[in-house]
Structure formats: C-alpha cells, structure tokens
Amino acid sequence: MGVKEAAASLKSGKPVLLFDSEDREGETDLVFASQFADSSAIRMLRKEAGGLVCVAMPYGIAEYLGIPFMAEVYRNSGMKIFDMLNDRDVKYDTKSSFSITVNHRNTFTGIPDNDRALTVMEFSHVVALAARKDSRAVDEFTGNFRSPGHVHLLIGDKNMIVGRRGHTELSLALAELGGLVPCTAIAEMLGEDGKSLGKRDAAEYARRSDLEFVEGKEVVNEYLKRRQGWDIQQ
C-alpha cells in the first residue's frame, strides 16, 4: 500500500481510503476521482462510507469559475445571524473548505444516486475545462448547474497542502499525482456505531475490500517531493 498505488487505483476508477492524521480530524474518507463517480460510486459513498458526499476542487479552479467559500457568502450577506454563527471555534482547523451546493439542471430532485452522479461527473467536466483555462468553462457551469442543490462543493486551500492538510487538499493532491482531473468525490467513513470509523478499522475495511488505504502524511511527502524536489521527512 502506498501513494503510487492509491493514485493508480483512482486513475482506474476505483476508490481509495484516505486517512488525514491523528492530530487533525483523525478520520478516513472514501475517495473517488469525480470523473468516474457514476451512480454505483455515489451509492458506495452513501452506503459504505456514510458521511456527507462532497466534491472537492482546487482554489484556482474555484477562482476561475467565480465560486466562493460559503464563509465568504455569509460574511458578504451583511446578515448579523451569520456573524453569530461563525465557525471560529472549530477544534481541528482554522477554516472551512465548504462552498455552495449545486445540482445539474438535468436532475429532478437532485438527491438520488443517478442525479448526484450526473451532477458530480458533469462538474468534473467543467473543472477539466477550467483547468485548461477554456473560456467555455464558466458558461457551462452557469448554464448547466443550479444552486442550491444536493452536492456540496469544497474548495482547497490557495497553497494546497502547504496551507491546509484536510481531506479536500489531500484528495486533490492524490488526484494530481495520478494525472487526473483535479476534482474528487469524498465522504467520511462511519462505523456501525455511527461514530467516525477508526484508523485500524478503516485499514481493515480496505484490506477486506481490496482497496488501497493511504495516510495523509504519505500523500504530503510524495506531493512535496514531486512539486518542490524535497522530502519533508528529511
């Protein structure tokens, strides 16, 4: 098990299990490359993982498409209630990666597996266009999606894993290492008791399911080696 194997699995359309770190959330997410997140993938995220199904994109893509962090939407609304509902007391991080929610316009309610799969996969197509600075990206996004919806968008940190090492950034780094569209579909793994699935149990689930399990520190190490030419362990 390792980063290269996990990236290869994502590239083949299979999911991987990604643990962030003991000193952060201490949680494992089930991760798909969004370009392969068909209805069976959404069903797996919903039933086998159980947490909130979200779609992550890099900061630069969100900026190109004009998609804001939800905290910015609240802050710019001028409504007092959002000042009182601030998230400055989150214990595992200093900021949220949550953005707006969307549905593809060709969905009905937007929540069934096939509806969310359409939203996720078509959004991945928009991200692919935006990554190439294709001028069609914004028109395809605004023309083919509506908000609010049932798919939660997440935005990575401007400095990626140098600035934040949540599942958003880690999964995007893994997608980049695999040469994939920089867009991932993720959900937290929950146990039968309704609590976050422990690291050992998540690794065992991966073993039983013939899936790759990878730790965030391994992704960080490989990503920084590729991008900056040095190993953070040295």
Which residue among 64, 103, 122, 157 is the active-site one? 103
Which residue among 92, 93, 204, 231 is the active-site one? 92
Name residues whose C-beta falls within 8 Å of residue 111's C-beta, 6 or more positions apart in sequence: 150
Whether 54 is a known active-site residue: answer yes
Whether 183 is a known active-site residue: answer no
Q: What values do phi and psi take at 190, rounded to 5?
A: -115, 150
Give CA angle at 111 (213, 37), nearest 5°.
Answer: 35
Which residue among 38, 114, 134, 150 is the active-site one? 150
Which residue among 20, 25, 27, 54 is the active-site one? 54
Whether 64 is a known active-site residue: answer no
Q: What values do phi and psi take at 99, rounded to 5?
A: -125, -155
Which residue among 157, 188, 212, 215 is the active-site one? 188
User: Strand order of the sheet with strand 145-155?
Assistant: 98-104, 145-155, 54-57, 184-188, 28-33, 16-19, 212-215
Which residue among 29, 169, 215, 222 is the active-site one? 29
The residues that are catalytic are 29, 54, 92, 103, 150, 188
